[in-house]
Amino acid sequence: MQVKFTNRGSTLVIGIIGELDHHSAEYIRDKIDAQMIKSTTKNIVFDFSKVGFMDSSGIGVIVGRYKNISKLKGKAAIVNPNAQIKKILEMAGIPKIIPLFNTVDDAVSSM
Amino acid sequence: MQPINEMKIEFLSKSNNESFARVVAAAFVSQLDPTMEELADVKTAVSEAVTNAIIHGYEDTIGYVRMECRLYEDSVEIIVEDKGKGIDNIELARQPLYTSKPELERSGMGFTVMETFMDSVEVKSEPGVGTLVKMCKSFKSLKGKQN
């Protein structure tokens, strides 16, 4: 499990690599929160291109970060989830509050 | 109905066994040759059931989680069981968004995921004794297919 960060202007792109379950959720959450404190992040983009699996623990991580960024009047987006992850996101109603995009460029330019 | 194949395993309630359990279940079920999507559904449901056993059943203690899989011609039955603290109110626990651990940023969607991705989910639990979750799914892609 790995998390890579890229700053694109005021948008922080969070590239998660691996599987997002209860076991990895705490590590990912801590990494993201630490990064969000130190950078001048306004918006966040979750890049799911390299996530092979996610269960409902991932919903907790996404919604938690979304709440934090919303308090600062920022926006969030999700990029390229696979079919299994998309199914979970849709089941939880996430796309209604956090839009999905095919590419990081599309997500960043929507901010 | 007699299963065509069956397996049982036990593993410690450590969070790194969540991926172990779902991969084992998926590998076993793949013998039936369902679609990738059907296999992903099983994997996700198992992940939720095992995570519940670890977080809620055993909480901060360590015990054994037992998983049983039975394969039929075009369906699977999976049981995930713990000997942990049990669930006081099963109906409440199964409600979407309900979580007994909001401080852990749990989404409260575990049972909802299991119910969405499997055809049936049965929960038996007794406080102080443990919890058993039995999930079944028939694979539409295999209906009427000759093996």
Q: Are A32 and A62 in contact (CB under 8 A)?
A: no
Asked whether B66 and B81 are in contact (CB, 8 A), the reply is yes
Q: Is the pLDDT of residue B103 over 80?
A: no
Amino acid at B75: S
Count of domains observed in chain A:
1
**B34-65 tens-digit pLDDT:** 999 999 999 999 999 999 999 999 998 999 99
Which structural domain range is residue A38 located in? 2-109
| CA–CA separation, B23 and B123 (whole Å) | 23
Question: Which CATH number belongs to the domain containing residue A62 in this structure?
Answer: 3.30.750.24
Interface test with B, best of A19, A20, A21, A97 (most B CBs within 10 A): A21
Q: What is the mean pLDDT of residues B81-85?
A: 97
Nearest CA in chain A to B107: A60
Nearest CA in chain A to B99: A60
Q: Which of B11, B47, B52 to mutate to test the interface with A (most CBs of A within 10 A)?
A: B47
CA-nearest residue of chain A to B42?
A84
Q: What is the pLDDT of residue A57?
A: 95
A–B CB contacts, 8 A cutoff, strictly below: 67
Residue that wins the pLDDT comparison between A9 and B68: B68
Of B134 and B1, the one with more pLDDT: B134
B5-141: which CATH topology?
Heat Shock Protein 90 (3.30.565)
Query: Is the model's pLDDT at B145 over the cut of 90?
Result: no
Q: Is A19 helix (H, G, I), strand (E, B) or coil?
A: strand
Find all residues with CB under 8 Å of B63, minimum gap 6, and list them.
B12, B13, B57, B82, B83, B84
Spell out the residues 6+ positions from residue B110 whose beta carbon is closer than 8 angstroms to its own. Answer: A56, B48, B49, B51, B52
Ranges in chain A, pLDDT < 50: none
Look at A22 and B15 and tell me if their CB atoms are within 8 Å. yes
* Residue B147 pLDDT exceeds 80: no
**Facing residue for A84 by CB, picked from B44, B48, B106:** B44
ipTM of the complex in this document:
0.91
Residue B55: DSSP 8-state: I
Residue B13, pLDDT above cutoff 60: yes
How crowded is the C-beta side of B8, counted as CA atoms within 13 Å? Answer: 3
Tell me the C-alpha to C-alpha distance, in Å, between residue A53 and each of A1, A100, B114: 11, 17, 15
Q: Cβ–Cβ of A22/B105 closer than 8 Å?
A: no
Is B5 an active-site residue?
no
Confidence band of B146 (pLDDT split at 50, 70, 90): low
Reported as a single tens digit per residue, the pLDDT across B104-133 is 778 888 999 999 999 999 999 999 999 999
CA distance B51 to B54: 5
pLDDT of residue A39: 73
